[in-house]
Amino acid sequence: MEIIDFNGEKLYKWTVGASTFVANPKRGARLMNWFLTLADGSVRDIIYWPDNAKFDDGFASVRGGNPILFPFCGRSHVGGEIGKWKTPEGKILDMPQHGYARQGEFEVVDCTDFALVAKFKPSEECKTNYPYDYDFTVTYRFNEFSLLCDLRLANNSDKEIPWCAGHHFYFKMPWHDGASRKNYRILCDAKKAFRLDGRGALQPVEAKFPADFSDPDLWNRINCKLKTNIVKFGPKSGEEDITMRVGESPRPDAWTSVVTWTESGESPFYCVEPWMGAPNCAEHGGGLNMVPPHSSRSFAVDISIF
């Protein structure tokens, strides 16, 4: 592991065999890039990062890397009003899209040649709108052909804490010269799918798999009721698949979700996002998780390229 000073930012870099991982732990515990050096010396991005990304107050909205979503994924609503959530006690508070971690500050608590552990430092705004006593940590483990990320919430109090965290992985797409999205497909054993409407309600849509990445029906889709925790995507030939294992159970909880999204038809990435539950879960309950007093819970995702 090495630390690089880049434009005044402290970036951490791990080289493990053919894989290189780059992260900015302080800014959102953001894994920025994962690339593979091939036998011919060429480089293939697995996790996409834009060359023109700015390291300023807009860092959280950079389209790349793996933004951490905590305490909730997606948009929150109360009675149709966006940007609000209701606590189990009935108090209505503010909640930005995807929560506070992606734009929040973290501190490094452990770092080795193969791992990183970073702890969230809640802002005053976060403390006001998510008023709990907790420790939220992000752990990355780096291997030559795989990456594991564990999100852990430790409850330090005498009352339950609600949460529904997740990832926003930006995968390079396509990754072959001359190819397009229609040359790549995704396999996911989802029995149900939804989209969130403008008032925060889940609207059912068809969970159609396999699907190629040019299919407009795949865009912004919440795929859930997973029969297995394995998601695969890559060229339609079946070679070079990226494999994602969502959670540690072979059959995830019913509301564990895989969200498929991209910004536009020309974007050089497609997001495959494992979430603990559906967006707006604090209102409709679909995937809202509770951490008991003085206990901890985690959500682990493993990504491999073999």
Which CATH number does the domain housing residue 215 bear?
2.70.98.10
If one counts the domains in the chain, the total is: 1
pLDDT of residue 73: 98
- Check residue 127 and give its pLDDT: 98
Closest CA to 193 of 155, 175, 220: 220
In the numeric block, the tokens 């879960």 are attached to 281
Q: 234, 242 in Cβ contact below 8 A?
A: yes
pTM strictly above 0.85? yes
51-58 LR contacts (CB < 8 Å, sep 24+): 55/6, 55/7, 55/8, 55/9, 55/24, 55/27
What's the pLDDT at 295? 98
DSSP state of 292: P
Token code pair at residue 183: 């040359």
Cα distance between residue 300 and residue 1, in whole Å: 23
Are the beta carbons of 244 and 231 closer than 8 angstroms? yes
- pLDDT of res. 128: 98
What residues of the chain score a pLDDT lower than 50? none
Residues with Cβ within 8 Å of 27's Cβ and at least 6 positions away in sequence, in order, are 9, 55, 59, 60, 105, 106
Give the per-residue pLDDT at 306.
Answer: 76
Per-residue tokens: 216: 């407009």
Q: What is the CA radius of gyration of the chain?
A: 19
Number of Cβ within 10 Å of residue 262's Cβ equals: 21
Q: Determine the pLDDT at residue 83.
A: 98
- Residue 300: Cβ within 10 Å count: 16
Please tell me the predicted confidence (pLDDT) of residue 54. 87
CA 1 to mean position of chain CA atoms: 23
Question: Which residues form the domain of 69?
Answer: 2-304
